[in-house]
Chains A and B, each alone.
Chain A
Amino acid sequence: MAFVGIQLKRLYRLVLLPFILTAGILLVGFVLEGIWSLSRIRPVMMVLTQVPVIAAGLSTAFVLNGDPIVELAESTPTGWRKVQVTRLLIITGAFLAAAGLLFIGLHMMRLWPRDMGWVSIITPVGSIFIVNCLVFLIAVLTMSMPTSSLASIAIWLFLCFIWDPYITDPVRQRLLPMFFAAAGAIFGWNMCGDAERNVVKVAAL
């Protein structure tokens, strides 16, 4: 637990980011609700609700890469994998909580795009889970921030423009890719346990 505290202290600014985004989007929704018609707010909200997903992927790519002391972590009983997974869980937890709050707020204001009742919460929560799991895998594979950032946007692009418009049932839309993402994260978890590989990889950069 103390270990989580240390990582939290290191990342607290990034943990605040999703909540600031949520507050900002809710504020925009609250202000616009009085001024604009519903048909005009909808597209704005469709764009704004994608911002936390982009931010989640990029933040995960940011926290999982660029740490120069992999060897040091591997030489302690803690190990590099524990460091990485703790960071991943902190960021993912923060973004999931903020996305949940965002959905509840917008659902109450009836501003959530394509709202099908409470089951729609799976849309933002699922996309953040998927993006973060896959970015974790790519960060383990490449250990490079530009590549992970690029991949996070590519994954989001796939979800937002290719997957979502064609598979509209909210449960099927999220469960299948979540299954793949979890499999990818487990694969990454296994690979990240290889101390030799981690050290060689960071030395090669």
Chain B
Amino acid sequence: MRMLSLVRITLLMFYRRKALWIASMPLALFALFLAYASPMSPGFSDTDGLVFTGQVLAMFTPLAYAASFSDLMTAGRRTGMDELESTSPLPMSVIRSAHVLGAWVICISSSLLFLVLIAVHQAIHGNGKAILVAPAVALVILSPSMLIAMGISALLGALLPTIVARILAVLAWAWLAFYTPLLPLPTLNGGPLAVIGDPIAQGWFHTNPMYMPANGPFTVQSGVISLLWQVCIIFLLFTGANIASNRIKARV
């Protein structure tokens, strides 16, 4: 119960940051336009289109979230808020997870809104399943990507000076999402460890992946592996950020 009320309070706290909501609307709109204009796009009229849109949102919007959440774990240091929080009966890790949850709600809500609008449009034109697919896409494709980007940002922000952390987090996400096979760099794309939802999209929703899988098409199992792997990364990133931010000396 206590956890629930904490989440509620955090949601209220983030609800007040209206500027962030407003800024993330055009961001999601740009990604939506890219999904529409892409030569690979299956259009907005069927389930494939919905999954594809979810994947494009999962590739582009985290670029901005990677840039903006580098003080997710350390903002409290500046104001002394964390000292107040550490006197509360809840463990710090719970409080910090509530902060992450609140930020995640802001990140996902604008994208989710557009996905649901597309789904409603499809439902009116006879594809009732879309109403279920839209939240599913948001949950299994969009949110892991966003949480990974936010986790990278929070971890780097706790380890490095702010501006370096922000730039590096954007570049790290750009590498994770937009690797082009022309560069001889190692990559996660094309395997079950990709973080932009390819294995899940093909394994569970039977769509065409963004990057050709290296060892044959993805199956339902590779989707499961991918989701578990992403949950592991998210957990590691935020645990790391939590530990690192505890070690920062408060600037007096």
Contacts and interface: CB of A to CB of B under 8 A. Distances in A.
Interface in A141-189: 141-142, 144-147, 149-154, 157-158, 161-162
Interface in B145-197: 162-163, 166-167, 170-171, 174, 180, 182-183
B225 interface: no
Interface string B3-38: 000000000000001011001101100110110010
A146 B20 contact: yes
A62 B162 CA distance: 8
27 contacts: A54-B67, A54-B171, A58-B67, A58-B170, A59-B163, A142-B19, A144-B19, A146-B17, A146-B68, A147-B17, A147-B20, A150-B20, A150-B27, A150-B64, A151-B23, A153-B63, A153-B64, A153-B68, A154-B23, A154-B26, A157-B27, A157-B30, A157-B31, A157-B64, A161-B30, A162-B33, A162-B34
Contacts of B170: 54, 58, 153
Given A150-B68, A153-B64, A144 B20 contact: yes
A58 B166 contact: yes
B22 to A, nearest CB: 8
Contacts of A14: 163
Interface in A61-96: 62
B156 to A, nearest CB: 12
Nearest to A165: B37
B30 A158 contact: yes
B218 interface: no
A55 B26 contact: no
A98 B60 CA distance: 27
Contact of A51 (B63, B68, B70, B171): B171
Contacts, number: 86
B65 interface: yes
Contact of A150 (B24, B167, B171, B183): B24
B238 interface: no
B23 A43 contact: no
Interface of B is mostly: helix
A159 to B, nearest CB: 10
A44 B17 CA distance: 38
| B30, B33, B163: most-surrounded residue (chain A CB, <10 A) | B163
A154 B21 CA distance: 13
Contacts of B70: 149
A31 to B, nearest CB: 14
B52 interface: no
Contacts of B163: 14, 17, 58-59, 62
A157 B60 contact: yes
Ordered nearest first, which 9 A-B pairs have the shortest CB separation? A153-B64, A142-B19, A150-B68, A146-B68, A149-B68, A154-B27, A147-B19, A149-B67, A150-B64
A62 B69 CA distance: 13
A147 B19 CA distance: 6
A40 interface: yes
B138 to A, nearest CB: 19
Nearest to A154: B27
Nearest to A50: B174
B48 interface: no
A138 interface: yes
